[in-house]
Amino acid sequence: MPLFAPGTASLPSPASTATDPGTGQQRRGFWLRTLHQWHWISSAVCLVGMLLFAVTGITLNHAAKIEGNPQVANQTAILPAPLLQGLAGPEEGKAPLPASVADWLDDTLGTSIGSREAEWSGDEVYLSMPGPGADAWLSIQREDGAVEFERTDRGWVSYLNDLHKGRNAGPAWGWFIDVFAIACVVFTVTGLFLLQMHARQRRMTWPYVGLGLLVPVLLALIFIH
């Protein structure tokens, strides 16, 4: 006896469902929407950062041709006697300055000491304070409290170049670079998948991708020794 009476619709077999062109189009549409979403979100996240790193890549590549004009500033002061007693800490080694001394130096010199470790010796406490685009150091004589501070500012181009390299920019900037790099990876990988999905309609897709790989490889092999 037949399972279905004449004129009634029968359920499609699994084989016909697997080869249904409508199902394939739905799957393709799902992946296109998903990839486009991830692609534009990642591009929005890394847009400003990518522009910054592209521009500073040019300035770093031509650093010798971009003349800087370093500005050097010197300041001197005398540590008050009550605070000088706070320097009776370790005779040698590395340790942060006492909080009271660091606060007084912040107010007097207009700088930020923070929790940097200073180098302690028998007659001096020396603190190195490098930053992006600048170098600074601070010296305190433990006998009389004489303070000498020097800061060298190399300009905004050097500042941006140091941000590009993550040089003396602190852990927060280091985390930003990591997140930015992950966003760039997502942006490029989703772009690659989108290229693959549109390659049938754009015949020059893979020749251009291959050219983007071939040019740096040839330059590295031929001109870099």
79-115 pLDDT, tens digit each: 998 899 888 767 788 999 999 999 999 999 999 898 8
Q: Give the pTM.
A: 0.75
Distances in Å between the Cα of 57 and the Cα atoms of 53, 62, 158, 183 are 6, 9, 12, 18
Domain assignments of the chain as residue spans, ordered by start: 34-64+155-199, 71-153
pLDDT grade for 9, boundaries at 50, 70 and 90: very low
Q: Output 140 or 19, whichever has higher pLDDT.
A: 140
> Given phi > 0 = left and psi -120 to 50 = alpha, else beta, which region is 41?
alpha
pLDDT value at 78 more than 50: yes
In the chain, the percentage of residues whose pLDDT exceeds 70 is: 89
Please state the rounded mean pLDDT for residues 41-55: 92
pLDDT grade for 63, boundaries at 50, 70 and 90: confident
**What gap in Å lies between CA 101 and CA 87, rounded to an integer?**
8
pLDDT value at 57 more than 50: yes
**What gap in Å lies between CA 168 and CA 147, rounded to an integer?**
24
Q: Which pLDDT belongs to residue 162?
A: 94
Is 76 in contact with 210 (CB distance < 8 Å)? Answer: no
- Looking at residue 131, the DSSP 8-state letter turns out to be B
**What gap in Å lies between CA 57 and CA 38, rounded to an integer?**
26
Q: Which pLDDT belongs to residue 65?
A: 85
DSSP 165-225: HTTT-HHHHHHHHHHHHHHHHHHHHHHHHHHHHHTTT-TTHHHHHHHHHHHHHHHHHHH--
Q: Which pLDDT belongs to residue 19?
A: 54
